[in-house]
Amino acid sequence: MTKTLIIVGCQWGDEGKGKIVDLLTPQVKAVVRFQGGHNAGHTLVIQGKKTILRLIPSGILHAGVECLIGNGVVISPEALLKEMNELEEKGIPASQRLRISASCPLILASHIALDEARESDSKNAIGTTKRGIGPAYEDKVARRGLRMSDFFNPKQLAEKLKILLDYHNFLLQHYYKIPTIDYDQTLAALLEMAKKLTPLITDIPALLAKYQQEKKPLLFEGAQGTFLDIDQGTYPFVTSSNTIAGAAATGSGLGIRHFDAVLGISKAYSTRVGNGVFPTELLDEDGQTLRDRGHEYGSVTKRPRRCGWLDSVLLRRAVQLNSISSLCLTKLDVLDEMETIKICTAYQLDGKQLNDLPLNPEDLARCVPIYEEHSGWKTSTTPIKEFSKLPANAQKYLRRIEELTGVPISIISTGADREETIVLNKIF
């Protein structure tokens, strides 16, 4: 029986993790975010009403479930309070359900300024959300960043902030040649926001250990996707944190032997936002059809997503990297009107067939996908609630994905709403 489940994205993010976390939340004691920041965008649709979450775990809509932000998450206090206010205006008591690790690094206005300055250089732009995520993680690793625990000691906070802002402002003024960030205004804003956030600070590792000992079901929610991982992703066009399942332990404080299963989320096709290699990208009518039918625009950035066919080579690597137990395939309905659907099963590079990624990551950009074609089903899958009721060609497509990846599909999403889901195997 699964008691502790990790949910991760198998592509470049935007796979629909938020919907699945929300779907499974009623069965758990707590939902835990363990990496990333407000560069995430998890969209929930319940009875036609849309809620977009960035920092707050996707279980926040459910009463009786705690939402925990682990130490692996970088927090913009301003963004967090704004998100909490948006929820509370809708009648959702976010402050009652939310708890935050004392070890979460803080994102300051100067981090955002640095991020924007770097991205303004078109030659070196990574395609970040310009929300200060990368610079905040840099300061964490350099051991000069501020953390939530600094709110407990205003004098210490002021001293650390002065040192950090002096460093940031030197870069802004002398390297990027742009205006600096005011120390007094930044400190005053932090101290004011601390009044609302300090009561939410909790010993997350101790709380998780307690729930684990009590055998309470726990759900760990990843942000972004496997191939945006700082170590395992398509570097350098990646995010600044570890997005794979192993980060659930380091980013929350729960020991690694306490995790039972990993659910990997993948779209029925592929998408990517921003720069970086994308072997199966479609720059033709099929790519535009996927974008239009899938409403493929970032929930946070509003940027159009690049679209392409499902890449089983990358999907197999995601299964390996995350020890994925089963898959959830989302947006099957987007393929409903396609005459022909393709799956990349291997690559061709310099006249040779590759069934795995090339040893030199830069060679991935030169890989040509080898496709197998599948007939479409030309009928709506959205109303269907059972696998056996899906069109025969849709069933064949899904079974082929299981064959190519070596893991079963447990959940199929056939629409944006919570109810538009087929559950094949019980998770908890």
Q: Please list the active-site residues.
A: 14, 42, 140
Strand partners, 33: 69, 221
**Residue 415 labelled as part of a binding site:** yes
**Residue 379 labelled as part of a binding site:** no
**Residue 40 labelled as part of a binding site:** yes
**Residue 331 labelled as part of a binding site:** yes
**Residue 17 labelled as part of a binding site:** yes
Q: What is the largest CA-CA distance in the chain?
A: 67
Query: Using CA atoms, how far apart are residues 146 and 428, in angstroms rounded to an integer?
Result: 38
**Residue 132 labelled as part of a binding site:** no
**Residue 213 labelled as part of a binding site:** no
**Residue 311 labelled as part of a binding site:** no
**Residue 115 labelled as part of a binding site:** no
Strand partners, 326: 263
**Residue 295 labelled as part of a binding site:** no
Q: H or E segment at 232?
A: none
Query: Using CA atoms, how far apart are residues 58 and 297, in angstroms rounded to an integer?
Result: 20
**Residue 196 labelled as part of a binding site:** no
**Residue 302 labelled as part of a binding site:** yes
**Residue 285 labelled as part of a binding site:** no
**Residue 105 labelled as part of a binding site:** no
Q: How do 340-349 and 326-330 pair as beta strands?
A: unpaired
**Residue 210 labelled as part of a binding site:** no
CB atoms within 10 A of CB 132: 27
CB atoms within 10 A of CB 166: 11
**Residue 345 labelled as part of a binding site:** no
Query: Using CA atoms, how far apart are residues 331 and 355, in angstroms rounded to an integer?
Result: 26
Query: Using CA atoms, how far apart are residues 312 and 101, in angstroms rounded to an integer?
Result: 37
**Residue 233 labelled as part of a binding site:** no
| Tokens encoding 145 | 């960043």
| Tokens encoding 324 | 């994925």
| Dihedrals phi, psi of 393, to nearest 5 degrees | -70, -30
**Residue 13 labelled as part of a binding site:** yes
| Dihedrals phi, psi of 40, to nearest 5 degrees | -80, 160
**Residue 421 labelled as part of a binding site:** no
Residue environment code for 14-25, b if the CB has 16+ CB neighbours within 10 A, otherwise e: bbbbbbbbbbbb
CA gyration radius, the chain: 22
Query: Using CA atoms, how far apart are residues 267 and 427, in angstroms rounded to an integer?
Result: 19
**CB-based contact 67:56 (threshold 8 Å):** yes
Judge residue 142's burial from the number of C-beta atoms within 10 Å of its C-beta, 0-12 exposed, 13-18 middle, 19 or more buried.
exposed
Q: How do 409-413 and 421-423 pair as beta strands?
A: antiparallel
List of residues 6+ apart from 397 with CB closer than 8 A = 268, 335, 341, 343, 374
**Residue 4 labelled as part of a binding site:** no
**Residue 243 labelled as part of a binding site:** no
Which residues participate in the annotated binding site for IMP?
Answer: 14-17, 39-42, 129, 143, 224, 239, 303
Which residues participate in the annotated binding site for GTP?
Answer: 13-19, 41-43, 305, 331-333, 413-415
Which residues participate in the annotated binding site?
Answer: 13-19, 39-43, 129, 143, 224, 239, 299-305, 331-333, 413-415
Which residues participate in the annotated binding site for substrate?
Answer: 299-305
Which residues participate in the annotated binding site for Mg(2+)?
Answer: 14, 41
